[in-house]
Amino acid sequence: MIHNSSPAIVVIGCGVIGLSSALSLQELLRDDPSKSSWQVVIVSKEWPTSIPGAPIPHSIEYSSMWAGAHVRPIPPTTTQLRQEGLWLKQTVSKFNSLLKAETQIGLTLAPAIEVFEAPGDEYKAQTAESFEADSGLKGYRELTAKELPNGTTFGFEYESYCINSPIYCGDLLRKFIIAGGKTINATLRSVDEASIITPNVQFLVNTSGIGFNDSKVFPIRGHIVLTNSTCFDKTITRQNLDGTWNFIIPRFFSGGTVIGGTKEPHDWRRDPDSATCRRLLTGVEELKQYALSSGSLGQPENISVIQEIVGRRPAREGGLRLEIEFPSNTYSAESKLPVIHAYGAGGRGFEISWGVASSVSKLAKGLMVKLDQTKGRLAKL
């Protein structure tokens, strides 16, 4: 039986990382009979209630509402990319099992195509075997020269996931609440404030996206256009020679199609600009012609814009911060309670979400053993 004074784990943030972590923590508590009285509480200033096109209650910092989103593996050539690749593979495996159990959760298994004007060697080195081994995704096939859109020199296809991010996050929140999770609507000024937001807090999980005063965190501005199009059955990504991108991500479940997009590190501009919007819509016309000629487009249609969107990807130098911080007397400690930090997912929060959540859960398991030992020692004094 859970009371208001039951021991609590407080998760700060209700984006895709916070929600996946909170659900994993509930599972951890369910598996441990000695923790049956514990509860998980999410405290957040924003919640997944968005219907794009309706009046928008979300800030551009609430990244999870603005994500396309699709799973697009990046060849694991650095330490950070290798770690993210492991999380991605765990997420793909979880998406597979989620979709087997339920089909209406905002996830769709769909074909993905990537094409390049000037591909890096790391992309050209991929094979069907290495791609599946690295990502867990099936169906990799290099495109023939005839299949490539004008101006591109290399491309491949595979089976991937498209995520209608507001629907998907809403579904995770509903699952969390049904499983006994508690929610508190609050804007915190510090991590520490979360330790007294509800009675008997044992430790904190900081999934606030951008963290609190972390100088390594920076935004990657994403300018995208949400359109009413419903004719695309696949996600298509084009990387251009000048470093720009064009992509199409269908938001299945009546969410239209996301036309993207920009990736602008350290760019703090909040508003969409019409020149970028025009460039994106022109780029998509070419991809549309390509999709049409490859026979994968439904009824051709006039695309109209529902909303021009700017969202910020919460990036961090060196990648996502995943570690436990223990309280100390030093000025820099962020809380008087232990904190598991899991923020700074950058542009990959959805595709690495369940891997990160599993790492959070492992850290939490170790932490609970430590807390039990400390309490045991104190009881003997």
Ligand X SMILES: Cc1cc2nc3c(=O)[nH]c(=O)nc-3n(C[C@H](O)[C@H](O)[C@H](O)COP(=O)(O)OP(=O)(O)OC[C@H]3O[C@@H](n4cnc5c(N)ncnc54)[C@H](O)[C@@H]3O)c2cc1C
Residues within the interface to ligand X (CB under 6 A): 12-18, 44-46, 61-64, 66-70, 187-188, 207-209, 222, 224, 261, 311-314, 343, 345-351
Residue 185 vs residues 26, 45, 54, 124, 374: alpha-carbon distances, Å = 20, 6, 22, 47, 32
What is the closest distance, in whole angstroms, from the C-beta atom of residue 196 to ligand X in the complex?
Answer: 14
Token readout for 24 is 């994993």
Shortest CA distance to 246 belongs to which of 130, 172, 149?
Answer: 149
Q: Which amino acid is located at 239 in the chain?
A: Q
| DSSP letters for 116-128 | ESS--HHHHT--H
Closest-CA residue to 29 (of 11, 12, 49, 56): 11
Closest distance of CB 79 from ligand X, Å: 19
Helix (H, G, I), strand (E, B), or coil: what is residue 371?
helix
Nearest approach, Cβ of residue 16 and ligand X (Å): 5
Asked whether the beta carbons of 181 and 30 are under 8 A apart, the reply is: no
Give the residue with the Cβ less far from ligand X, 61 or 157: 61
CA dist 270 → 63, 230, 291, 347, 377 (Å): 13, 28, 32, 17, 52
Strands 245-250 and 141-142: unpaired
**Contact (CB, 8 A) for 111 and 157:** yes
| Residue in 340, 28, 91, 331 with CA at minimum distance from that of residue 208 | 340
The minimum distance between CB 380 and ligand X, in angstroms, equals 38
**Residue number, 266 or 380, with CB nearest to ligand X:** 266
Q: How far is the CB of 377 from ligand X (least distance, A)?
A: 34
Least distance (Å) between residue 309 CB and ligand X: 7
* CB nearer to ligand X: pick between 48 and 155: 48
Nearer to ligand X, 45 or 336 (CB): 45
Task: Report in angstroms how near the CB of residue 333 gets to ligand X at its nearest.
Answer: 18
Contact between 226 and 256 under an 8 Å Cβ cutoff? The reply is: yes
Q: Is 53 left (phi over 0), alpha (psi -120 to 50) or beta?
A: left
Residue 70: CB minimum distance to ligand X, A: 5
Instruction: Give the residue carrying structure tokens 């009285």.
Output: 37
The amino acid occupying position 246 is: N
Cβ proximity to ligand X: between 303 and 357 the closer is 357
> What is the rounded CA–CA span in Å between residue 266 and residue 317?
11
**CB burial readout 292-306, b (16+ within 10 A) else e:** eebeebeeeeebebb
Rank residues 151 and 267 by Cβ distance to ligand X and give the closer one: 267
Q: Which is nearer to ligand X, 275 or 381 (CB)?
A: 275
> Nearer to ligand X by C-beta: 39 or 206?
206
Closest CB 262 distance from ligand X, rounded Å: 8
Closest CB to ligand X among 34 and 215? 215
Give 166 or 222: the residue with its C-beta nearer to ligand X: 222
Q: Give min distance, CB of 14 to ligand X, in A.
A: 4
Q: Is 291 left (phi over 0), alpha (psi -120 to 50) or beta?
A: alpha
